[in-house]
Amino acid sequence: MRFPDDLAYTAEHEWVRVAGASARVGITDHAQDALGDVVFVQLPEIGVTFASGDVVAEIESTKSVSAIYAPLAGVVCAANHALADTPELVNTDPYGAGWIFELAIADTAETTALLDASAYQALLE
């Protein structure tokens, strides 16, 4: 499994790519592997505001349904609509084409609470 160093992570197995005041979010390689074959992704609506820790989306696999949480407070500014037709992108490219949504971050200071790659790997051990 891979955990890119340029991403931040949550204990709930989301990855976060922060770029200024926005953040792209997906699930980690570990999470997609545990889920198995992803068959459906319920995306959040654009413009909806979430607090850190709120359920933003859901992923359904052949094994289970899992919640995706907001890693930071903010407003959803984009959703990966390609997942409607090809939800398996979450499995095949979790850190690229399998991203789920983007947030306009309410408070960039919250990013300091995210884990780096080594801390996330330690969490898994």
Distances, alpha carbon 64 to alpha carbons 17, 37, 74, in Å: 26, 10, 27
Task: Give me the residue spans of the domains in the chain.
Answer: 8-120
Q: 8-120, what's its fold?
A: OB fold (Dihydrolipoamide Acetyltransferase, E2P) (2.40.50)
DSSP helix/strand/coil, 2: coil
Question: What's the sign of the alpha-carbon dihedral 45, 81, 34, 117?
Answer: negative
Write out the chain's pLDDT in tens, 125 residues. 889 999 999 999 999 999 999 999 999 999 999 999 999 999 999 999 999 999 999 999 999 999 999 999 999 999 999 999 999 999 999 999 999 999 999 999 999 999 999 999 999 98
